[in-house]
A and B are shown apart, each in its own frame.
Chain A
Amino acid sequence: MEETISFQLNGKKTEVRIDPGQTLLWVLRNHFGLTGTKFGCGVGFCGSCTVLIDKEPVRSCTLSVGDVAGKKVVTIEGLAKNGKLHPVQKAFVEHDALQCGYCTPGMIMSATGLLMKNLSPTRQEIIDGMEDNLCRCGAHIRIIEAVQTAAKEMKGGK
């Protein structure tokens, strides 16, 4: 049964007429064309579908679109502002913290969520926060360094 679901998507008020039981991941990808959010496992184990909901990194493959009614959803496409990369994105480029790039959007969203709560994370806190995002190419060490660099820039910017 279709319903009208209202939420904020990448800073814009959004209304969509849709079956609220549809998976958020596929609604983002197919209805809104936001394909930066990736399918990796479909059961929340790999983290490649991570988006921010009310600043909290969550797995969009395990949520329904109805779950985000009234909430603020940010995807990888919503991070850069006016063509300027978000500090986390910038740090991933600087540190070459990616290879195939498929897990990268999920990694960046998890890292962004982590830094929204804690701008001075220790190395261990970064590892703990990123632990459930999987990368098969082995970019982990560079990702940790990128998150540290982004934290410094975001802290300096405040």
Chain B
Amino acid sequence: MKKRESNPKELTQPVEVSGMKRRSFMKLLGGGVFIFFQPWNIFDLFSAPAEQARSLTKDYNAFLHIAEDGTVTCYTGKIEMGQGVITSLPMMMADELNVPLEKVKIVMGDTDLCPYDAGTWGSQTTQTFGPNMRAAAAEARAVLLELASGQLGVPVSQLEIRDGIITDTKNPKNAVTYAQLTKGKKLEKYLDVKPSVEDYTKFTYVGKSYKHSDANLKVTGEAKYAGDLKLPGMVYARILRPQSHGAKLTSVDFSGAEKIEGTKVVRDGDLVAVLHENHDKADEAIVKIQAEYSFNEMPVNDKTIFEWMLKADSSANVARSSGDLESGRQLSEKIFESEFHDPYLAHAPIETHTALAQLEGDKLTVWAATQTPFGLQDGIVRELGLPREKVRVITPFVGGGFGGKTVFQQGIEAAKLAKLTGKPVMVAWTRDEEFFYDNFHSAAVVKIKSGIDNSGLIKLWDYHVYYAGTRGSETIYDVPNAKTTSYSRNKNAPPVHPFSTGPWRAPNNNTNTFAREVQIDIMATAAGIDPLEFRLKNLKDEKMIACLKAVADKFGYVAGKTPSGRGIGIACGTDAGTWVAHMAEVKVDKNTGKVQVVRIAVAQDMGLCVNPQGALIQMEGCITMGLGYTFTEEVLFEGGNILTRGFDTYEIPRFSWLPKIDCVILDRKDKAPKGGGEPAIIAIGAVVANAIFDATGARLYRVPMTPARVLEALKKV
């Protein structure tokens, strides 16, 4: 697989600059709706042959099937990785088709059975796939009504549907079921004029809370993940890895490995693997391989990366601009300049990248832990030269993704090894490999120059973001003179990142929201205005105002000027079409620099909430995961060598970190549903930083806010 050396997000920049609308951008790429929403994969699209670009089918039959027993199966290229769409998509299908929820089953992420999908990311399943699936169900329902009309001999207007039974309203005995109409076969009729989807007032399931439908499988150990599968004759692979990114294999001696009985060593170019039917033996064999490498590493590490980025050959693109900055400076009584730093982060799902590949005849099947089954299929087509119809990717349960499983190197490796050996091959990355080959959240620098007038109104906002892209960089406040400039690698310039980077839950929004919301706090303090009041004073965005008021209410917020000593912070932002506002209370140990979050409240406007229980759990998950990048998570590296390769050195949140959590989902049933898997994570860094300031007067400009950095900031108070 081709390694991505650059940040693919850079490729989205010109689009924003030229101000092209979404539609024209899609035309440019010749693809469907989904393409716009996956900026990190545009890189793949540019490098892939044009015939590989695919879009979601319009054929409603691809989305659903009605069996002879009346069971409805919905088919989706989306996958289940804990975000809960295995529960919410069938709810939507049941409502649209008017069938009982318990009759709805779901098949996910199987490239032979499911309609094409670009990938499960960006909180898009509910807001983008959902409407397509509902439209398909609506067409199926209308076709079934027409069929019933013919069979029952009454006009459609005289029919009603309940629980998959179509009944003549004037003669209830004159009825027919969906199953009787379809007899398990595909519907052949298509409608020229597509029917509209059901209004939210007609929903039976959507809008009500349902628990995870897969919970029983998961608490009993029955749920199957890629690594749990076993095929006759299957062997485990361990693959020879370089010590660092950028190292090139120069010589290899695998005689030591071959001495271990039952070991097969395979080499295909740079891919060197040992295969053994016993997992432990494969582990033993891989360390017996002697290999030498040449090194050509970038002279950069986790400490110098920020300076390195600022000095890099970058192109500056203006993402948005209003008024003019000089006027803003003149109107400002006080000007504030800050620089914020954000490190590389690892996704660190507990399930490592895993795939099982089997070649049967000329058909290759790969079971993979992936967020992109169709992307992996295309990757195998590219790398192995197989026709697409001869490659099937099946996605079992995925043990966490967070953006990290949008890349699928392990699936390509398993496919290659299965083809080379003719045996079913399991590739399950070690924790070390997982931390090494991650597509890391990009390190970034944000520089802001902003100004307020003597009444506390923001008059100037000059925002510069380096290597994080623009997601979440919206000013959101009502500032007359504002400009957002995004810096990314110049075309043909050398790579900036020593390893690959990619989307990490709410990609880079965490970086932008952290910088903006801390800067807002700095100005509120200087203006001597309560930080909630300062925000409300400078906002015109009704949704943001509503979220702030809702969170203040839930939190029991009492106004005060910072630093008040209470340890209370505020932050807000938008992501994936959803608005969020957070409040937090922290305790800071001034002797050790250790910070404990006591409580966090969040208010979220996500439009229609399909499954409030699922949405709530996602918000809790976002808050918890957010504490990781806030306090400990940071990839340490020297050149291409990743130093943090275990949970001992890359620490993720634990039970003792957890604050009391209160979530509010605003009632917006009449609005289109928006994303829920990511938004509530974006402001955690900022809300905690602002709370630390309120507690101590110490201002932090960098995540993670480790005890050492908190102590350093305290010295400056």
Contacts and interface: CB of A to CB of B under 8 A. Distances in A.
B398 interface: yes
A3 B365 CA distance: 37
A139 interface: yes
A138 B656 contact: no
A136 interface: yes
A48 B350 contact: yes
A48 B349 CA distance: 12
A112 to B, nearest CB: 11
Interface in B571-616: 613
Interface string B415-430: 0000000000000101
Given A96-B212, A101-B214, A141 B400 contact: no
B655 A144 contact: yes
Interface in A100-158: 100-105, 108, 126-128, 130-144
Contacts of B197: none
Q: Is the interface of B mostly helix, strand, loop or mixed?
A: loop
Interface in A75-93: 75-77, 79-80, 85, 89, 92-93
A93 B215 contact: yes
Greatest chain A CB density within 10 A among B218, B224, B430 is at B218
Contacts of B654: 131-132, 134, 140
Contacts of B617: 96, 99, 139, 142
Contacts of B613: 96
B219 A85 contact: yes
Interface stretch (B34-42, B79-87, B288-296, B297-305): B79-87
Contact of A138 (B278, B399, B653): B653
Nearest to B215: A93
A30 to B, nearest CB: 6
Interface in B599-658: 613, 617, 620-625, 646-648, 652-656, 658
Greatest chain B CB density within 10 A among A37, A42, A77 is at A42
A108 B220 CA distance: 9
Nearest to B80: A100
Interface stretch (B94-102, B110-118, B225-233, B507-515): B225-233
B251 interface: no
Given A100-B82, A101-B397, A134 B350 contact: yes
B402 interface: yes
Contacts of B225: 38, 102
Interface string A37-61: 1111111011010000000000000
A43 B621 CA distance: 25
Nearest to B214: A101
Given A33-B230, A36-B222, A96-B617, A141 B661 contact: yes
Interface string B272-297: 00000011100000000000000000
Nearest to A96: B211
B221 interface: yes
B351 A100 contact: yes
A101 B215 CA distance: 8
A16 to B, nearest CB: 14
B216 interface: yes
A132 to B, nearest CB: 8
A26 interface: yes
Interface in B666-687: none
B352 to A, nearest CB: 8
A42 B348 CA distance: 14
Contacts of A132: 654
Q: How many B residues are at the interface, by size bracket? A: 35 or more
Contact of A96 (B83, B215, B398): B215
Contacts of B647: 41, 45-46, 134
Contacts of B215: 92-93, 96, 98, 101
Contacts of B493: none
Nearest to A139: B621
B620 A142 contact: yes
A23 interface: yes
A34 interface: yes
A30 B230 contact: yes
A123 B230 CA distance: 40
B623 A103 contact: no
Nearest to B627: A138
Interface in A8-40: 21-23, 26, 29-30, 33-40
A36 to B, nearest CB: 2
A127 B656 contact: yes
Greatest chain A CB density within 10 A among B220, B653, B654 is at B220
A98 to B, nearest CB: 5
B367 to A, nearest CB: 13
B678 to A, nearest CB: 12
Given A36-B220, A36-B222, A104-B218, A138 B620 contact: yes
Contacts of A36: 220-222
Given A40-B350, A45-B646, A100 B400 contact: yes
A32 to B, nearest CB: 11
A138 B217 CA distance: 19
Contacts of B217: 101
Contact of B219 (A41, A98, A99, A138): A98
B1 interface: no
B223 interface: yes
Contact of B224 (A29, A35, A85, A143): A35
B431 interface: yes
26 contacts: A29-B279, A35-B221, A36-B221, A46-B350, A92-B219, A96-B211, A96-B215, A96-B613, A98-B212, A99-B82, A101-B82, A102-B225, A102-B351, A127-B656, A131-B654, A133-B655, A134-B652, A136-B400, A136-B402, A136-B652, A137-B82, A137-B625, A140-B658, A141-B658, A142-B620, A144-B658
Interface of A: 21-23, 26, 29-30, 33-43, 45-46, 48, 75-77, 79-80, 85, 89, 92-93, 96, 98-105, 108, 126-128, 130-144
Given A45-B431, A103-B399, 8 more contacts: A42-B430, A46-B350, A77-B221, A89-B219, A89-B220, A93-B215, A133-B655, A137-B82
Closest 3 CB pairs of A and B: A36-B221, A138-B624, A100-B82
